[in-house]
Amino acid sequence: MQRKTFLTQSGILLTGLPLAGLARPFAKTMNSEALNKLKEKTGINPVMDENYWNIVRGMFNYSKDFINLENGYFSPQPFSTEQFHQAKEHDINHRTSWFMRREQRDMIEQTRKNLSEFLGCDAEELVLTRNTTEGLNTIISGFPWQKGDEVIIGNQDYGSMVAAFKQQEKREGIVIKIAQIPLLPKSDEELVNAYLSLATSKTKVIHLTHMINLSGQLLPAKKIIDAAHAKGIEVIVDAAHSVAHIDFKPAELGADYLAASLHKWLCCPLGAGFLMMKKQHIHKIWPLMADDEFGDDNIRKFEHQGTKPPQTVMAINEAIKFHNAIGSTLKQERLQYLKSYWVAKVQHLDKVTINTPLTSERSGAIANFLVKGYTPQQLADKLLKDFKIFTVAIDHPYIKGVRITPHLYTSIADLDKFVEAIKSISNS
């Protein structure tokens, strides 16, 4: 859509301001409802409309000192969520125990309800946690393991989860088998087989990472879960990177247990996450911290963490509003577009290798690449020192490269600078 049409239809032209001066101050005070209306009014699907994304960019509080292409660790909050979070902290600090004793419980239950609608699950199957690590450790440490029980994990699973299983190997005598996930798989069946070919009558659990953080590869989780269930094996899903990034309802995967961090792609304040668990499993899983308030079958038994900041939980509601104002489909498409944009401009270069499968079923925003002649750390250091581009080196036994994670606030102009940097490095 032409800039003028977009602006006229959205009503922005009425302000009489030129776009460049308009986007930031306007967007800073813009809330989710206004953004929603803007999109509805224009009636377009603005995946490639930089006018729309310029406004979205203005809603984020990101550093201008460098180009941040390392948004995989956690996302900045949009101003609307940050301000909501700070206002709630201020209010709770003012009303102290009054809030904690009289309002906290209702607020938690309301948030559980909102988040369960967002995830597509029953509220009675949802635990509010601080992050993915806490959610998955609850299952891995709390599962009633018997000596000799087998688990299948992936060769590129997140280190903390591998450590959690190794602890159970030492403590309970479980046996860990490792599925070999190729960097560039040929088919879903190859991936299903990587897990299921290791299954025996002793296999109790498969643990899989929905979107592998090292490369951004997205696994066909539902197919793996269905195949595991057909053999009576329970499945734990690490969805840290797929929730609020890929357009799907987590509950529809049918996993027995699924956890994610909401400070990643939902753009919540740090320290917000969840764990979903099928009702029939609740009674058998031991909580990380003992609870004497709720019964064995009550999902709330997993939330006994002592006194914690309620404003972080409350901010989840505001973050969902912002996410919904953009919409899951548009968000996924924009993030995939940003990845495809830079990859298409460098993948043909002789010295460049892309370590991520690129189709929309196999990845989202994240891609991993390497330039011949550089170690991952040397390449990340050079990007930062010579071009002020911040990335992260991935030096893992199965994948070596630099991980690039753009976000909704990433501009095409910044990606152009990144592309020029890769060309310059690969020509030197």
Binding mask 8-47 for ligand PLP (x = CB under 6 A): ----------------------------------------
Distance CA 51, CA 3 (A): 7
Residue among 132, 203, 356, 391 that touches ligand PLP (CB under 6 A): 132
Nearest alpha-carbon partner for 235 in 227, 244, 246: 227
How many residues are present in the chain?
428
Kindly state the tokens that stand for 289.
């911290």
* Nearest in space to 179 (alpha carbons), one of 205, 155, 212, 146: 155
Which of these segments, 99-107, 238-246, 302-310, 417-425, binds ligand PLP (CB under 6 A)?
238-246
Site for ligand PLP in 162-221 (CB under 6 A): 209, 213
Query: Least distance (Å) from ligand PLP to the CB of residue 250?
Result: 14
Least Cβ distance, residue 271 to ligand PLP (angstroms):
9
* Bridging pattern class, strands 234-238 and 175-179: unpaired
Contact between 179 and 155 under an 8 Å Cβ cutoff? The reply is yes
In the complex with ligand PLP, the residue whose CB is nearer, 80 or 213, is 213
92-100, 125-133, 224-232, 368-376 -> range binding ligand PLP (CB under 6 A): 125-133
Does 75 help bind ligand PLP (rule: CB under 6 A)?
Answer: no
* Tokens describing residue 5: 């049409």
What residues pair up with 337 in beta bridges, in sequence order?
none
Among 221, 240, 266, 299, binds ligand PLP (CB under 6 A): 240
261 touches ligand PLP by CB under 6 A: yes
Closest CB to ligand PLP among residues 238, 414: 238
CB 237 within 8 A of CB 221: yes
Kindly state the smallest distance separating residue 158's Cβ from ligand PLP, in Å.
Answer: 4
Q: Which is nearest to 8 in space by CA: 37, 41, 48? A: 41
Q: Among 286, 306, 291, 313, which residue's Cα sits nearest to residue 130?
A: 313
CB 236 within 8 A of CB 276: no
Q: Mark the segment that binds ligand PLP (CB under 6 A) among 130-138, 178-186, 190-198, 301-309.
A: 130-138
- Could you say whether residue 71 binds ligand PLP (CB under 6 A)? no
Cβ-based nearer residue to ligand PLP, 179 or 346: 179
Quote the least distance from Cβ 71 to ligand PLP, whole Å. Answer: 11
Verify binding: residue 238, ligand PLP, rule CB under 6 A. Answer: yes
Distance of closest approach, residue 261 Cβ to ligand PLP, in angstroms: 3
Which of the residues 146 through 165 are near ligand PLP (CB under 6 A)? 158
Q: Which one, 140 or 346, has the nearer CB to ligand PLP?
A: 140
Stretch that binds ligand PLP, among 18-26, 94-102, 105-113, 127-135 (CB under 6 A): 127-135
In 358-408, which residue ranges form alpha helices assigned H by DSSP? 376-387
The count of residues interacting with ligand PLP (CB under 6 A) is 10
Cα gap 275→350, rounded to integer Å? 44
* 407 near ligand PLP (CB under 6 A): no
Applying CB under 6 A, which of residues 31, 54, 81, 133 lies at the interface with ligand PLP?
133
Binding segment (CB under 6 A) for ligand PLP, from list 234-242, 295-303, 321-329, 387-395: 234-242
Q: What angle do CA 47, 53, 55 make, to 5 degrees?
A: 145
Measured from the CB of residue 72, what is the shortest distance to ligand PLP in angstroms? Answer: 6
For 18, 19, 57, 63, 164, the CA distances from 4, given in Å and listed in that order, are 11, 10, 19, 29, 55
391: contact with ligand PLP by CB under 6 A: no
Distances (CA, A) of 252 to 14, 25, 241, 362: 44, 40, 17, 18
- Is 129 a binder of ligand PLP (CB under 6 A)? no
Cβ 14 to ligand PLP shortest distance, Å: 43
In angstroms, what is the minimal distance from the CB of 428 to ligand PLP?
32
Tell me how far apart the alpha carbons of residues 197 and 189 are, in angstroms, rounded to a whole number.
11
Classify 19 as helix, strand or coil: helix
Contact 225, 196 (CB under 8 A): no
Rg (CA), the chain: 22
Q: What are the C-alpha distances in Å from 74 to residues 65, 204, 395? A: 18, 32, 20
Q: To the nearest whole angstrom, how small is the minimum distance from the Cβ of residue 338 to ligand PLP?
A: 19
**Strand bridging mode 203-209 / 273-277:** unpaired
131 binds ligand PLP (CB under 6 A): yes
Binding residues (CB under 6 A) for ligand PLP: these are 131-133, 158, 209, 213, 238, 240-241, 261
